[in-house]
């Protein structure tokens, strides 16, 4: 995909120490702006879908891991003067995928790319966005510094765990959301019961309110305590769920402990059916085993993280390739990304 740029005229600078007027020359400097999309090993399928939506071929890059665990990358075609979009989510193996993204950015800078945009649909370490206990790192901030130091001119990401992560960057951050697509899925899914959007904890109550508003129903939320990492204990439901089809909404599903506990509480509160939806399907540890139970009828996520082949059939995946492709096209043409979402591409 290329776009032509107007021919520029170079203006000669006046010689120092003289009163001569500047001499205007007609030296043409044709410049064809180029868009190129590459993908790391963590997002090959998504990268290919994005490139297809843009009408271009996915760029060729050699990526491998040496026997000692070190990552290697090399672009197999010229990227000089091009706008490079590098698609790579930082999911498991998290550190390999993150390091691969950093090396691809650094290699692109060394190969004289015009602009380098890191497209990281799932931003690794995003949950570590503040110090909860003394002597902890703020890992999300460190990742932001690493991306900038490597040479990223811009970052394109989806549904950050906390909006404050955008403030860790000095370069522009384009924040995308999948909420309209997820909401539309349930609007198109006809069920006999009335829907109710439920947050599995108070921290996602605003998100539940947004989705409930788009579904034109009332929201609810479940109280929750977290005694330690990856362990959640659900309390009681705040809101009316009896006899309704409850949609548990969250930004991500990791070990699914919160989700399963919330579904159990909803069933005990009289919910007729329980669905779940989230932008990011991390699904680590015992997630699939937990989700195989009968309490949750269907789980809807996006392909910001590729779904494992051993995932339960009840998990439905919607692609964000079109959203990312349209955003990439807007960035490439210096258009407005927020206009694609009518200004609603904020978390809350």
The C-alpha atoms of residue 50 and residue 86 are separated, in whole angstroms, by 11
DSSP 141-163: HHHHHHHHHHT-SEEEEE--SSG
| CA proximity to 249, closest of 191, 205, 184 | 205
Provide the token pair at 298. Answer: 């269907």
3-state secondary structure of 97: helix
Is 331 in contact with 54 (CB distance < 8 Å)? no
Spot the catalytic one: 130, 210, 224, 316.
Answer: 224
Place of tokens 């997820």: 182
Place of tokens 């993150």: 98
Burial letters 270-298, b for 16+ CB under 10 A, else e: ebbbbbbbbbbbbbeeebeebbeeebbeb
64 is catalytic: no
Is 249 in contact with 277 (CB distance < 8 Å)? yes
Active site residues: 224
């Amino acid at each position: 995909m290329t776009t032509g740029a107007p021919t520029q005229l170079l203006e000669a600078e006046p010689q120092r120490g003289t009163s001569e007027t500047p001499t205007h020359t007609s030296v043409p400097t044709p410049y064809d702006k180029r868009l190129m999309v590459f993908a790391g090993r963590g997002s090959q399928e998504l990268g290919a879908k994005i490139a297809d939506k843009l009408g271009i071929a996915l760029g060729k890059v050699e990526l491998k891991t040496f026997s000692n665990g070190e990552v290697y990358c090399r672009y197999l075609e010229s990227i000089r003067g091009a706008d490079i979009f590098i698609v790579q989510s930082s999911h498991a193996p998290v550190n390999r995928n993150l390091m691969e993204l950093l090396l691809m950015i650094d290699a692109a800078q060394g190969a004289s790319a015009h602009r380098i945009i890191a497209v990281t649909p799932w931003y690794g370490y995003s949950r570590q966005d503040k110090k909860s206990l003394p002597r902890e790192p703020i890992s999300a901030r460190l990742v932001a510094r690493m991306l900038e130091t490597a040479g990223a001119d811009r970052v394109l990401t989806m549904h950050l765990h906390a909006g404050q992560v955008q403030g860790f960057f000095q370069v522009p951050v384009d924040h995308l959301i999948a909420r309209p697509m997820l909401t539309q899925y349930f609007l198109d899914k006809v069920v006999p019961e009335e829907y109710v959007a439920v947050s599995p904890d108070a921290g996602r109550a605003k998100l539940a309110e947004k989705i409930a508003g788009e579904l034109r129903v009332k929201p609810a939320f479940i109280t929750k305590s977290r005694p330690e990492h990856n362990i959640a204990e659900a309390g009681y439901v705040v809101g009316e769920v009896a006899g309704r089809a409850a949609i548990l909404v969250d930004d991500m599903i990791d070990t699914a402990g919160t989700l399963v506990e919330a579904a159990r509480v909803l069933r005990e509160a009289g919910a007729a059916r329980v669905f779940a939806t989230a932008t990011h399907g991390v699904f680590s540890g015992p997630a699939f085993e937990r989700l195989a139970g009968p309490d949750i009828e269907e789980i809807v996520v996006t392909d910001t993280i590729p779904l494992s082949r051993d995932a339960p059939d009840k998990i439905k995946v919607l692609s964000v390739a079109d959203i990312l492709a349209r955003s990439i096209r807007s960035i490439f043409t210096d258009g407005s990304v927020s206009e694609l979402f009518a200004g609603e591409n904020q978390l809350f």
